[in-house]
Amino acid sequence: MASHRVRVDALAPEMTLGPREARHLHVLRLGPGDPVRVFDGRGAEAEATVGALDEGRAVLTLGRALAGVAETPQPVTLAAPLLKGDKLADVVRAATELGVARVQLVITRHADAREIGDQKLLRLRRVAEEASKQSRRAVTPEVLSPVSLAELRWEGSLFVAQPGATARLTDYLAWDAPVTLLAGPEGGLADAEVAALETRGAVAVTLGPRILRAETAPVALLGALVATGV
């Protein structure tokens, strides 16, 4: 069985975890002597062993170094509205570089397109494959056929970039739970669409007071994710 992965500030012979990470070990029912994998969110990864552990603190001992991985600690999904022309390919390419586990295409009220042809979907999958290689990822993100926003399912958190929103993405990010990010199409998401997602637990977040193009906003959201290392 693969060991659980725990983020540390930096790999060191002895690593002390803070309350959040210690709680994470509790949730995973890990205790002294159990093996884990530690990673620093910047490509370094190693085996480690749980030592002293209480609710607020845990100590890990470093083991064998592992080949660094280029994947984000938590699976990141980009929910991407259908955009015209090459814009969707541009978004898939940048999202792949920025580490998404999958791109879930979504149909929105204001949309450049209501559906996507098989050929175009295949092309997006090829774009994801090429971008994976270029960015030295071992994993190619899936590009999933479009669903309506009502059909969109997510684990963990859904953050929706919406003009006028007040919450800040970086106040919410955590490295230990799956994240889905959504930005609107040209013309934006309808207020009712955002409200419906909020009812289901989504958080609307700001990307500042300027109007972003539909192909810029998802890259900005993912940029915030990679810059915080979560």
Site of interaction with a copy of itself (CB under 8 A):
10, 40-43, 68-70, 72, 93-94, 97-99, 134-137, 164-166, 168-170, 205-213, 216, 219-224, 226-229
Cβ closest to a copy of itself, residue 30 vs residue 39: 39
The answer to whether the CB of 80 falls within 8 A of the CB of 110 is no
State how far the alpha carbon of 146 is from the alpha carbons of 45, 137, 167, 186, 211, in Å: 35, 24, 27, 17, 25
Using DSSP bridges, classify how beta strands 102-107 and 45-54 pair: parallel, antiparallel or unpaired.
Answer: unpaired
DSSP string, 133-194: HHTT-SSPPEEEEEEETTT---SSEEEEE-TT--B-GGGT--TTS-EEEEE--TT---HHHH
Residue 42 CB, nearest approach to a copy of itself (Å) = 5
Spacing of C-alpha 45 from chain mean position: 19
Cβ closest to a copy of itself, residue 102 vs residue 116: 102
The DSSP secondary-structure symbol of 39 reads: E
Residue 65 CB, nearest approach to a copy of itself (Å) = 14
The Cβ-side half-sphere exposure at 14, using a 13 Å CA radius, reads 5
Residue 7 CB, nearest approach to a copy of itself (Å) = 12
Please enumerate in sequence order all residues whose Cβ is within 8 A of that of 124, keeping only pairs 6 or more positions apart, or say none.
88, 89, 92, 103, 143
Spacing of C-alpha 85 from chain mean position: 25
The answer to whether the CB of 32 falls within 8 A of the CB of 53 is yes
Residue 11 CB, nearest approach to a copy of itself (Å) = 11
Cβ closest to a copy of itself, residue 73 vs residue 146: 73
Residue 159 CB, nearest approach to a copy of itself (Å) = 9
Cβ closest to a copy of itself, residue 15 vs residue 30: 15
Residue 229 CB, nearest approach to a copy of itself (Å) = 5
The whole-angstrom separation of Cα 24 and Cα 28 is 6
